[in-house]
Amino acid sequence: MTLHSRYPAISDLKARARRRIPHFVWEYLDSATGIEATQARNRAMLDQVMLDPSILHGEFEPDLSTTFLGKTFPLPIGIAPVGMSGLIWPGAEQMLARTAATENIPYTLSTVASQLPEDVGPHAGEHAWFQLYPPRDPDIRDDILKRAKASGFTTLALTVDVPVASRRERQTRGGLTNPPKLTPRLAMQAAQCPAWLNGIRKTGMPRLRLMESYSENRSALPSNQHIGYLMRTSPDWDYFKALRDVWDGPLIVKGVNRPDDAARLTDEGADAIWVSNHAGRQFDGGPATIETLPGVRAATTLPVIFDSGIEGGLDVLRALALGADFVMLGRAFHYGLGALGEPGAAHVLDILRQDMISNMGQLGTKTLRFLPNCLRVTQ
């Protein structure tokens, strides 16, 4: 029996992962903020994007390759940053980095990962990206960038949609603490997930090792925050300009949803725009990213990345049809790890690949650049 016969969709991996990950970890991975309306809106508005199938194109094999920031990729897909990946599945950062290197796609390591750049970079191949939560201290900022660059990370993604901690009520109710520790309640949940627990016994409980390397402050924080909040700032335009001056590689700005912001970033020297609403984890009163994508696309000549709400290859095609040049997924790859361990991440990619091939065949679209022609135009 093949993986595709047992787990033909990402939703199948999600269902199995939920059984193999402790409840408090699942609540961290799967939750949003508020009443989770934005998370639901991401899904609902993706479903509103209609594409018109075309006929009589004969037999063809769709070409899924694309060029982004001067690099050629076999798929228009990369792995988005997820904080504390090693809590979701032990060893996750290295597993995802190895998968990305094997598949020749980008892997983005979070500032608040459970592993150091030095430990992950060697596994990530030539498309290693580093996501920056901006430190307040410029010396710490510059040292983090130096370490990331020395570890092989060539592209920087500045996250700008987390100016303050969100409440993430469901995560709080789940009982996760920072740093994570197995209270009696959580230990009972972990005992029901032996594969996860055995992995944690080998790796130890994850910590924010990069942030902790710059601070001896171990003061208790609210459960929706972590030590990074003691050190980072809410960046402004001057911060972006300073970062542009000190980082000599491609600089992406993540968390953009307004056309005027995209236009100014174009003028100020960004190399790409990342449309994202943090998958609904930060603010529960905004539009779906698929709604904001066309306006951002019209406002900039820069390459555009899209994330938030992607659940299959058809969603990837929808985003590309509306103007995205590249699509990133975070949760989906962690569902794969939770379900199957390291092979699960590669299976997620294969699900996306096969789904895109199937749907492009229905659309009669041989290459990705023709997808905008498939959009259904409403009167």
Which of 250, 251, 258 minimizes the C-alpha distance to 298? 258
User: What pLDDT does residue 218 have?
Assistant: 47
User: What average pLDDT score do residues 142-164 get?
Assistant: 96
Q: For 14-32, how does the pLDDT look when each residue is reduced to its tens digit (9 = 90+)?
A: 999 999 999 999 999 999 9
Residue 294 has pLDDT above 80, yes or no: yes
Segment 101-127, tens digit of pLDDT: 999 999 999 999 999 999 999 999 999
Tell me, yes or no, if 57 is annotated catalytic.
no
pLDDT of residue 175: 87
147 to each of 64, 77, 106, how far by Cα in Å?
34, 26, 19
pLDDT tens string 332-344: 999 999 999 999 9
Q: Which of 147, 158, 66, 152 is nearest to 101 (CA)?
A: 152
Task: Find the mean pLDDT for residues 137-164.
Answer: 95
Cβ atoms of residues 305 and 326 within 8 Å: yes
pLDDT for residue 227 is more than 80 = no
Q: Which pLDDT score is estimated for 216?
A: 61
pLDDT band for 229, please (50, 70, 90 cuts): low
* pTM reported for the whole predicted model: 0.94
Amino acid letter, residue 118: E
**SS3 label, residue 101:** helix
- Residues 270-291 as b/e (b if ≥16 CB within 10 A, e otherwise) read bbbbbbbbbbbbbbbebebbbb
Q: Which of 297, 291, 263, 260 is nearest to 277 (CA)?
A: 291
Note the pLDDT of residue 214.
87
From residue 315, give the alpha-carbon distance in Å to each of 146, 164, 322. 36, 29, 11
Residue 65 structure tokens: 């390759």
Least confident of 143-157, 164-178, 305-319: 164-178
Q: Which residues of 333-366 are buried (b: 16+ CB within 10 A; e: fewer)?
A: bbbbbbbbbbebbbbbbebbbebbeebbbebbbe
pLDDT at residue 262, rounded to an integer: 98
Predicted confidence at residue 31, as pLDDT, reads 94
Comparison of pLDDT for 89 and 230, the residue scoring more = 89
Cite the beta strand spans of the chain per DSSP E: 66-68, 71-73, 77-79, 107-109, 128-132, 155-159, 251-256, 272-275, 304-306, 326-329
Q: Which of 127, 278, 334, 347 is catalytic?
A: 278
| Range of lowest pLDDT (135-139, 176-180, 339-343, 355-359) | 176-180
